Amino acid sequence: MDDARRRVLKDVFGFDDFRPGQDAVMRALLAGRHVLAIMPTGAGKSLCYQVPALVLGGLTIVVSPLVALMQDQVAALRLAGVAADTINSSIDRDANVAAWRRVAAGQTRLLYLAPERLMTERMLEALGRLDVRLIAIDEAHCISQWGPAFRRDYEGLSRLRGIFPDAPIIALTATADETTRNDIEARLFEGGVETLVLGFDRPNIKLGIEPKQDGKRQLLDFVRRHPGSSGIVYCLSRKKTEETAAFLNSNGVTALAYHAGMSKEARDANQNSFMTLSGVVMVATIAFGMGIDKPDVAYVFHTDLPGSLEAYYQEIGRAGRDGRSAEAHMLFGLGDIRMRRMFIEDEDTSVEHKRRSHGRLDTLIGYCETAQCRRQILLGYFGERAQPCGNCDNCLNQVERADGGAEARLILDAIAETGERFGAAHVIDVLRGHETDKIVARGHHGLASFGSGMAHKKDFWLSLIRQLVAGGFLMPDPRGHGGLAITDTGHALSDGDVPFHYRVEVRSRSPRGKAGGGGAPAAGAQGRDAALLGALKALRLRLAKEREVPAFVIFSDRTLIDMAERQPRDLDQFAEVHGVGAAKLREFGEAFLGAIAEYEAGA
């Protein structure tokens, strides 16, 4: 199997070796074991099932949440010479019927389906008659975080093990904390799964957060610190996306909008421009990003609070994939918190799911408010220990901090005395001596901690609790009941064995100071010939438009950069370029060799 995997990797996809984690995942699948793969954004998750699919033969079913992502992956596989299809609601009936005929005839190797299409009885019955060898579930965190509310059919995927007992299942995601991982393992696999977790650290990304004051001016100042660089700006709403893009353009910054309300043609055109041109800023909702592999994104800027620390991690992971210095910067305001709370309450889901969503939001707010190293907090959330990074705003700038050990111990005492069963609101009521019905009914007005925190306001205590959660002293919602529990580190703090310092107030720091290595230098600084790279990108765009596919489906930026550096003179040399497989060698080799030769003749 080893030779077969490597042969497919090189001949079909044009890669010489596996990225970290890919080899272990493929070995487990080819041995017939179910796999849950937690891999950071940009780690090459798709190859983890695409290569085994071609080694195993038969049919592989790929479950994906987004139609656009499915179509892009199918287009990319077809250009690599792989028989791939998708059946979805955005395609006309004749095309879907033709795709199914290819699947039924055994011609298709990978079939991409949304969970709603897959989990119909008619589709399951039809697929049950075919030679299904492998099932891949992409963005598997949806099983835990979306299943009960937004995408109910994600929950139903647990039935697949029984329907296809001989097919190994791989679930993949970049954003799963321990609770989400446990949820996926239980719901999808009932515990019978091999879980592989790659490291979450992206040390080249500088992390920064500042209070939202004049949001547009703060954004413009930040973008101007990165002249000529590509970046992504995330906004909460479609309207704000368009307004922000217009604002940047009016101030001399080339910016494009991207959101689900735009036509597919407009989205594709803007996506192609972003992938092809340098110095373009994509202003987008979260609809943009999945499946986009642009290595030279110098920054990701959040104008609004994301939905969770998982979402934040996934979105900032689109910066700095080339390994060069990049920045992730977020504006944080009270209005964002109110809006996110409203979104959670408006969800059509259970009380338990809402409670968990509020808990995730509390953790993100704690991350924003903390005075500790942000990378320590972020990695700690995903179960990794780290030393202070020296590459976040809290490490690089001296924030005003105070010894909060005494106040923290008051919180810990109140939590312990109430049985580690209650959330922040109840604990704060105890501290502030509020005789609510809930407190009186439980006799908590007679506790020693009742009224011990009257010297401070509610917002102070709420901020401290969030920072204690972010710092790992408290654990929210450990049993699904909304309570705060004291961790081992929290007990050590309570005993006076470890210190706790908190951020006194979140102060705005001007982004006009030193960049801290945040901006990526222009391509020319790396010795690449910018003119040749520009010509290759122009050719890629023309070929993409002819085939009506996104530009990155033809070749990734990394492939074009390698091409510009190698400047191959014949097909044998062209075959050695990173990401050039046999099918793309036949399809595009002569065209790109011609562009390189034309450039050299004119140089």
User: Where do the H-state alpha helices sit in 370-404?
Assistant: 374-381, 393-396
513 in a structural domain: no
State how far the alpha carbon of 41 is from the alpha carbons of 70, 198, 294, 319, 537, in Å.
17, 11, 12, 10, 24
Q: How far apart are CA 546 and CA 66, in angstroms?
A: 24
Please tell me whether residues 64 and 95 are part of one structural domain: yes
Structural domain boundaries, residue 499? 401-503
Mean pLDDT, contiguous 10-residue spans, the chain (603 residues): 86 90 92 90 84 96 84 90 92 93 96 91 94 92 56 74 94 79 85 84 92 90 93 94 96 94 88 86 83 82 92 90 91 78 80 80 86 89 86 83 90 94 91 93 93 90 84 68 82 91 58 36 45 89 87 87 91 91 93 92 72
Residues 314, 41: contact at Cβ < 8 Å? yes
Please tell me whether residues 293 and 327 are part of one structural domain: yes
365 in a structural domain: no
Cα angle: 327, vertex 332, 333; to 5 degrees: 165
Q: Token match 């070749």: residue? A: 555
User: How confident is the model at residue 424, as a pLDDT?
Assistant: 86
User: How confident is the model at residue 407, as a pLDDT?
Assistant: 93
Please tell me whether residues 148 and 239 are part of one structural domain: no
Residues 308, 344: contact at Cβ < 8 Å? no
User: How confident is the model at residue 293, as a pLDDT?
Assistant: 67
Q: How far apart are CA 538 and CA 541, in angstroms?
A: 5
Residues 187, 372: contact at Cβ < 8 Å? no
Helix axes 582-602, 530-547, angle to 10 degrees: 140
Domain count, the chain: 4
User: Where do the H-state alpha helices sit in 60-92?
Assistant: 67-79
Please tell me whether residues 231 and 89 are part of one structural domain: no
* Count of beta carbons in the 10 Å neighbourhood of residue 457: 12
122 in a structural domain: yes
Please tell me whether residues 171 and 211 are part of one structural domain: no
- Is residue 578 classed exposed, middle or buried when 0-12, 13-18 and 19+ CB atoms within 10 A define those classes? middle
The secondary structure of 440-504 as a DSSP string is HHTTGGGSTTTTTTTTS-HHHHHHHHHHHHHTTSEEE-TTSS--EEE-HHHHHHHTTSS--EEES
Please tell me whether residues 181 and 234 are part of one structural domain: no
Residues 126, 59: contact at Cβ < 8 Å? no
Q: How far apart are CA 20 and CA 328, in angstroms?
A: 24
Task: Kindly state the tokens that stand for 418.
Answer: 């109430």
pTM: 0.68
Residues 226, 276: contact at Cβ < 8 Å? no
Residue at which a domain ends, from 503, 519, 549: 503
Q: How far apart are CA 583 and CA 556, in angstroms?
A: 15
* Count of beta carbons in the 10 Å neighbourhood of residue 164: 19
22 in a structural domain: yes
Closest CA to 228 of 286, 291, 299: 299
Q: Token match 């920054």: residue? A: 299
State how far the alpha carbon of 219 is from the alpha carbons of 202, 232, 301, 459, 510, in Å.
23, 11, 8, 27, 11
User: How confident is the model at residue 1, as a pLDDT?
Assistant: 60
465 in a structural domain: yes
Give the type of residue at 355. Answer: R
Residue at which a domain ends, from 197, 220, 240: 197
Task: Kindly state the tokens that stand for 478.
Answer: 């450990």
Please tell me whether residues 499 and 547 are part of one structural domain: no
User: How confident is the model at residue 371, as a pLDDT?
Assistant: 81
The secondary structure of 249-316 as a DSSP string is HHTT--EEEE-TTS-HHHHHHHHHHHHHSSS-EEEE-TTS-TT---TTEEEEEESS--SSHHHHHHHH
Residues 468, 490: contact at Cβ < 8 Å? yes
Instruction: Residue 561: give its domain's CATH number.
Output: 1.10.150.80
Instruction: Residue 448: give its domain's CATH number.
Output: 1.10.10.10
Q: How far apart are CA 213 and CA 583, in angstroms?
A: 52
Sign of CA dihedral 35, 40, 44, 46: positive
Closest CA to 382 of 188, 174, 203: 174
3-state secondary structure 444-455: HHHCCCCCCCCC
Please tell me whether residues 277 and 326 are part of one structural domain: yes
State how far the alpha carbon of 592 is from the alpha carbons of 396, 513, 581, 582, 584, in Å.
45, 43, 14, 15, 11
520 in a structural domain: no
Please tell me whether residues 38 and 153 are part of one structural domain: yes
User: How confident is the model at residue 505, as a pLDDT?
Assistant: 57
Q: How far apart are CA 235 and CA 302, in angstroms?
A: 6
Residue at which a domain ends, from 503, 518, 544: 503
Q: How far apart are CA 524 and CA 233, in angstroms?
A: 24
Instruction: Residue 229: give its domain's CATH number.
Output: 3.40.50.300
Please tell me whether residues 190 and 216 are part of one structural domain: no
Which residue(s) pair with 301 in the sheet? 233, 329
391 in a structural domain: no
Helices vs. strands in the chain: H and E counts, helices first: 29, 17
372 in a structural domain: no
Task: Kindly state the tokens that stand for 41.
Answer: 């954004």
Please tell me whether residues 323 and 192 are part of one structural domain: no
Please tell me whether residues 51 and 140 are part of one structural domain: yes
Residues 133, 59: contact at Cβ < 8 Å? yes
